[in-house]
Structure 1
Amino acid sequence: MQKRQTETKGYIKTALIILLKEKRFEDISISDITRRAGINRGTFYLHYKDKYDMMGQFKEEMLADLYTILNKGNIETDINTILINTFSYVKDNFEYIEAISTISFINFSKTIKNFVLDFLLEFPKAKTTVANHYGVPYEYAIQVYLASIESLISYWVATGGKESPAEMADIISKVLKIDESISQNSKE
């Protein structure tokens, strides 16, 4: 039974990706999704209340996968590997992530910022490090920090994700001087 549910959700997700290349999410109907997925409407409604519930569940599943990646590494010593694994996940699911990045309901920009903030708060001295990095109060520094990362990731997705996960991890690290911040945290 679980395998069938997973397959059905996969068909729905694939149908959504294809449909998002043809029209805006707001213009996609449940009938469009079910027809493209090769399932009936009743099957769709066994899993989701509506298309917004579907997107909410897809988003939560994606974030759960990303949080699992964060929890697998040692944040203090293995940040580069965590970044590479995170970008590898995005690359492995690129067609889907690229498609959902265009949906206003998902608010891709805010989703990235919230995820990065959660990641950052795993560091014991994050607030001090971010504020010191920019030399302004934390409330302002964190906005610059989050906006920088979000812009880099959004640009990467919008331009087809040409750089490898390792290249993106390197870009993020250099722009935000993550290595310096970590070594500073370790010394304190």
Structure 2
Amino acid sequence: MKNNKTNARTYKWRGNVIANHELYSPNTSKHNSNKETNRLTREAICTALVFLIQEQPFSKISITDIVKRAGVSRTAYYNNYSSKQEILVDLVDSLIFEINQRLLPYTNELTGKAKEPEKFISVLFEVIFQQRDIYRALQSAKFDYVILDCLNEMMLSNAHDTTDESRYRIYFKAGALYNAISKWIGSDFAISTNEMTRISLHIYHTPMSQE
């Protein structure tokens, strides 16, 4: 039976493709049941890894540790992942997807820019804070730089101006945002989301020539 591909995305890790997750919608209840089982298995594995990273260095975590904490078999693990890094990629993708969904109402569909900058930035920091355990885990595993790749991709996909200047303007903004988020995570979220929003808006509205 031919599968109906609904979504595909390729992820890169240090320049090499490490995963190419494709979601399918088979037209049978059996396949749908298997898909749901795999989704729950992946969620259990992702959650287990986040908790384990809080307890020990990422490099010390074994597959045995992960499957025991997740309550799944090694077969189930290898049916979904081939490495610990792939789990981290799944975590990053889920975060970026949630950010995209939450920010969509505050994004201009024609230009791809924020139509309500204050709400846009506020929601962004709220989402990050709500998922802070995952962000901490990614940073601890030294994998948070993948967020920058995803931010670049997300912002470029919403851009309608494809000139070189527009593209590098996006890289500039994404890099600045990533650095601010990274430092905020590293400080263990010492500043409130409201204060981060205030600071970001002040920077957003201040031309570089006036700084």
Greater strand content: 2
**Larger mean Cα displacement after TM superposition, 82-91 or 160-169:** 160-169
Against the structure 1 CA distance between its residues 143 and 4, is the aligned structure 2 distance closer, same or farther, given a 3 Å change threshold? Answer: closer
The TM-score with structure 1 as length reference comes to 0.71
Give the direction of change, closer, same or farther, for the CA distance of 1:46–1:12 in structure 2 (3 Å limit).
same
Q: Deviations over 1:18-70 (max 9, x none)?
A: 21123222221111100111221112122222222222222222222222233
From the superposition, tell whether residues 148 and 127 of structure 1 become closer, same or farther in structure 2 (CA, over 3 Å). farther
CA–CA separation in structure 2 for the residues paired with 1:48 and 1:159: 31
TM-score by length of 2: 0.64
Cα–Cα, structure 1 residues 7 and 163, in superposed 2: closer, same or farther, change >3 Å? farther
Q: Which residue of 1 aligns with 2:85?
A: 52
CA distance in 1, matches of 2:162, 2:201: 15
1:172 aligns with 2:200: yes
Separation in 1, partners of 2:48, 2:200:
33
Inter-partner Cα distance in structure 2 for 1:42 and 1:76: 44
- Identity of paired residues, percent? 19
Q: What is the CA RMSD across the aligned residues, in angstroms?
A: 3.3
Kindly indicate whether the alpha-carbon contact (under 8 Å) linking 1:70 and 1:119 is maintained by their aligned counterparts in 2.
Answer: no
Q: Which structure carries more relative contact order (alpha carbon 8 Å, separation 6+)?
A: 1
Residue identity matched to 2:79? L
The number of residue pairs the alignment matches comes to: 169
Map of 1:115 onto structure 2: 151
The equivalent position to 2:103 in structure 1, one of 60, 63, 70, is 70
**In structure 2, which of residues 57, 64, 68 is the aligned counterpart of residue 24 of structure 1?**
57
Q: In proportion to residue count, which structure has more helix?
A: 1
Separation of aligned partners in 1, 2:58 and 2:156: 31
Unaligned 5+ segments in structure 1 are 131-137, 182-188
Out of 32, 38, 43, the position equivalent to 1:10 is 43
Query: Is the 2:45–2:70 Cα contact (8 Å) retained in structure 1?
Result: yes
